[in-house]
Amino acid sequence: MENPPPLTVGVPRESFPGERRVALVPASASPLMKLGLQMLVERGAGTEAGFSDNAYSAAGAQLVDTRQDVFARADVLAQVRSCGANPTAGRKDLELLRTGQIVVATCEPLAEPQWMREAARTGAVCFALELVPRITRAQSMDVLSSMATIAGYKAVLLAAGTLPRMFPMLMTAAGTVTPARVFVVGAGVAGLQAIATAKRLGAVVRAYDIRPAVREQVESVGGRFVELPLETGQAEAAGGYARAMDEDFYRRQREMMGKVVAESDVVITTAAVPGKKAPLLVTREMISGMAAGSVVVDLAAERGGNCEPTQPGETVKVDGVMVLGPANLPAEVPYHASEMFSRNMVSFLKNLVRGGRPALDADDEIIRETMITRGGEVVHERVRDLLGERAQAAALPGGQTPLRASDAES
């Protein structure tokens, strides 16, 4: 019996507006070949990230001319953004998918679950990388942490470039320049990187997080942890993520943080809860209390924002304070963002492919937690639950037809 042809991993050019990353870089070709996989790349897919077509060819990847070629020939599609993470241009991709084809990408399944229902109808098997469980074995696959590292770093550079003063303390012949005061709200991966970067630039850095366990981490990267007398025992969910708290908690938190915000030259907010709107942490009134020329960088802008005036992708001026709502910061550092994303992707494929063929093993926690669609259905429990909630919420008075229960489960 002849051996089956090697699996082909296809890399199309990203079609989301402003997305400059690529899912696999040329250096990924070698480890994929060791898995028995062939790499197929759309011409120009890595150009904006700094990876030429020649570099892919030299690494052993095969180049094709069109997106349609990639989708038609690939057994596995490796993308940065698919489904709900690319809601406009991504709709055309659904028309190109086929039964049994595997998609590995960020998909926004918790925020945009209806997209996963549409993807399921193509018969494709979709894996959402942002749902990789935070377990030791999966650390090398954690795209959220990789991209948050870049976002935290870039946020500080944006603030430094906008602030009308320097970050470090300087002793000069013209006198002493006092250091900038930076306050980071949220000490996850992005927040810790922001603290470390601001500290390296010479700022005095304070930080706050509702999870008391992160105090030691904040101090380890050079920040001072701000204590707020709030009950935070239930603030951390399984997997190390922040848990959504009630509005009364956030109201009291805002009241207590007001003084710290007013004393700061730069405030960087990073608080996000997976699949939910970002909590409102900094009000317009708090920002108005900052000195003119101060800067706020809201890294949760794409999730609704932690700051009341935030507009995604825009800069808003509030009583002389600049409020930045950057969108997709990792795409602003596309070379290293692509390298890190690519390493995560290769690690995921190493776990997915056994003996040169896909192993869709539901007993594997990583496979189970990231596989959203299979066999024409949405198979991920959390996403199925969300679809059921959306279907129920869509039931309208006046005789209008709601979504059918069967639609919510397929």
- Which CATH number does the domain housing residue 293 bear? 3.40.50.720
Residues 321 and 209 in one domain: yes
* Active-site residue flag, 139: yes
Is residue 241 annotated as a catalytic residue, yes or no? yes
> Could you give the angle at the alpha carbon of 23 between the alpha carbons of 22 and 25, nearest 5°?
75
- pLDDT for 274 equals 78
Look at residues 299, 331, 363 and tell me which one is the last residue of a structural domain. Answer: 331
- Whether 395 maps to a domain, the answer reads yes
* pLDDT higher at 396 or 225: 225
Higher pLDDT, 256 or 379: 379
Whether 182 maps to a domain, the answer reads yes
**Same domain assignment for residues 240 and 252:** yes
Which pLDDT value is given to residue 79? 98
Structural tokens at position 247:
């509005």
In a domain, residue 142? The reply is: no
Give me the catalytic one of 62, 140, 241, 284. Answer: 241
Count, residues in the chain:
410
Whether the predicted pLDDT of 173 surpasses 70? yes
Q: Is 2 part of any domain? A: no
- Averaged pLDDT for residues 16-26: 97
Q: Is 93 a catalytic residue?
A: no
Using the predicted structure, report yes or no on whether residue 171 has a pLDDT greater than 80. Answer: yes
Q: Which residue has the tokens 């509005």?
A: 247
Residues 193 and 271 in one domain: yes
- pLDDT of 383 > 70? The answer is yes
φ/ψ region of 215 (left if φ > 0, alpha if ψ in -120 to 50, else beta) reads alpha
Q: How confident is the model at residue 273 (pLDDT cuts 50, 70, 90)?
A: confident
Same domain membership, residue 311 and residue 216: yes
Percent of the chain with pLDDT over 70: 89
Q: Are residues 74 and 107 in the same domain?
A: yes
Among the candidates 282, 300, 331, a domain finishes at 331
* 393: its two tokens: 């919420």
Higher pLDDT, 246 or 269: 269
Query: Of 331, 347, 363, at which residue does a domain stop?
Result: 331
Residues 26 and 69 in one domain: yes
The one catalytic residue among 30, 139, 220, 234: 139
Section 36-57 average pLDDT:
98
Mean pLDDT of the chain: 90
Residues 403 and 289 both lie in one domain: no
Q: Decide if 211 is catalytic.
A: no
Judged against a pLDDT cut of 90, whether residue 406 lies above it is answered with no
Query: What is the band of 29 on the pLDDT scale with cuts at 50, 70, 90?
Result: very high
Give the model confidence (pLDDT) of 45-54 as tens digits.
999 999 999 9
| Pair 273, 324 in one domain | yes
The single residue listed with the structure tokens 């006198």 is: 175
Among residues of the chain, what percentage have pLDDT more than 90? 79
Q: Is residue 140 part of a domain?
A: no
Q: What is the pLDDT of residue 402?
A: 34
Say if residue 239's pLDDT is above 50. Answer: no
Q: What are phi and psi of 74, to 5 degrees?
A: -85, 140
Residues 298 and 380 in one domain: no
Q: pLDDT-derived band of residue 2, with 50, 70 and 90 as boundaries?
A: low
Q: 3-state secondary structure string, the chain?
A: CCCCCCEEEEECCCCCCCCCCCCCCHHHHHHHHHCCEEEEEECCCCHHHCCCHHHHHHHCCEEECCHHHHHHHCCEEEEEECHHHCCCCHHHHHCCCCCCCEEEEECCCCCCHHHHHHHHCCCCEEEEHHHCCCCHHHHHHCHHHHHHHHHHHHHHHHHHHHCCCCCCCEEECCEEECCCEEEEECCCHHHHHHHHHHHHCCCEEEEECCCHHHHHHHHHCCCEECCCCCCCCCCECHHHCECCCCHHHHHHHHHHHHHHHHCCCEEEECCCCCCCCCCCCECHHHHHCCCCCCEEEECCHHHCCCECCCCCCCEEEECCEEEECCCCHHHHCHHHHHHHHHHHHHHHHHHHEECCEECCCCCCHHHHHHEEEECCEECCHHHHHHHHHHHHHCCCCCCCCCCCHHHHCC
User: Is 193 annotated in the active site?
Assistant: no
Q: Which of 372, 366, 339 is nearest to 351 (CA)?
A: 366
Q: CA dist 150 to 144, 155, 156, 219, 220, Å?
A: 10, 8, 10, 20, 19
Q: What is the pLDDT of residues 114-123, one digit of tens each?
A: 999 999 999 9
Confidence at residue 276, expressed as pLDDT on a 0 to 100 scale: 84
**139 is a domain residue:** no
How far apart (Å, rounded) are the C-alpha atoms in residues 290 and 285?
Answer: 9
Q: What is the pTM of this model?
A: 0.89
User: Domain tally for the chain?
Assistant: 2
Distance set, CA 66 to CA 43, 72, 79, 251 (Å): 7, 10, 15, 52
Q: Which of 134, 251, 354, 404 is catalytic?
A: 134
Tell me what pLDDT residue 242 has: 52
Task: Give the whole-angstrom CA distance, residue 189 versus residue 270.
Answer: 9
- pLDDT, tens digit, 9 for 90 and up, residues 324-364: 999 999 999 999 999 999 999 999 999 999 988 999 998 99
| Of the candidate ranges 87-91, 190-194, 319-323, the one whose mean pLDDT is the lowest | 87-91
Least confident of 33-37, 132-136, 161-165, 403-407: 403-407
Residue-number span of the structural domain to which 363 is assigned: 7-131+333-408
Confidence of residue 245 (pLDDT cuts 50, 70, 90): low
210 and 163 share one domain? yes
Of 103-107, 172-176, 222-226, 242-246, where does mean pLDDT reach its minimum?
A: 242-246
301: left (phi over 0), alpha (psi -120 to 50) or beta: alpha
Residue 404: the pLDDT is 28
Q: Identify the active-site residue in 38, 82, 145, 264.
A: 145
Question: Is residue 300 scored above 80 in pLDDT?
Answer: yes
Question: Residue 18 is which amino acid?
Answer: G
Cβ distance 286 to 258 under 8 Å? yes
Calpha distance 332→335 (Å, rounded)? 9
Co-location of 279 and 393 in the same domain: no
If asked whether residues 126 and 235 sit together in one domain, one would say: no
Q: Residue 10: which of 55, 72, 96, 84 has the closest Cα?
A: 72
Residue 176 burial (C-beta neighbours within 10 Å; 0-12, 13-18, 19+): exposed
Q: What is the mean pLDDT of residues 26-43?
A: 97
Task: Confirm whether 137 is domain-assigned.
Answer: no
Residue 230, pLDDT score? 62
